[in-house]
């Protein structure tokens, strides 16, 4: 899965309706989190995105607003992107891993 460029992510994050979504495990979030901006958390693995699918519309009611998804390396974020797009979200970006988001 290709990651969005830092420029694409920064531009999307400027949208007042943008949602930043962390799909790592609760344990990973407890170890290190994005501190530069508020974010939503909802676990998604390569095998199971049921938590994300059940909470997507609650967390992200506007399917046309940018959704910036990240995880540890970008693989789970890629899976979450696929699942959200299948659910009708139109502007989903895979931002890659948390350690690569220092520009945000």
Is 49 noted as a catalytic residue in this protein? no
Which one is catalytic: 42, 44, 49, 71? 71
> How many whole angstroms separate alpha carbon 45 and alpha carbon 71?
10
- DSSP per residue, 19-57: EEEE-S-HHHHHH----SS--EE----SS--HHHHHHHH
Active-site annotation, residues: 71
């Amino acid at each position: 899965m290709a990651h969005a460029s830092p420029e694409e992510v920064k531009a999307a994050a400027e949208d007042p309706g943008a949602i930043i979504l962390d799909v790592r495990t609760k344990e990973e979030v407890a170890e290190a989190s994005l501190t530069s901006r508020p974010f939503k958390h909802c676990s998604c693995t390569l095998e199971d995105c049921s938590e994300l699918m059940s909470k997507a519309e609650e967390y992200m009611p506007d399917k046309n607003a940018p959704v910036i998804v990240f995880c540890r390396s970008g693989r789970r974020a890629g899976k979450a992107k696929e699942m959200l797009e299948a659910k009708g979200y139109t502007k989903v970006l895979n931002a890659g891993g948390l350690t690569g988001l220092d520009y945000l």
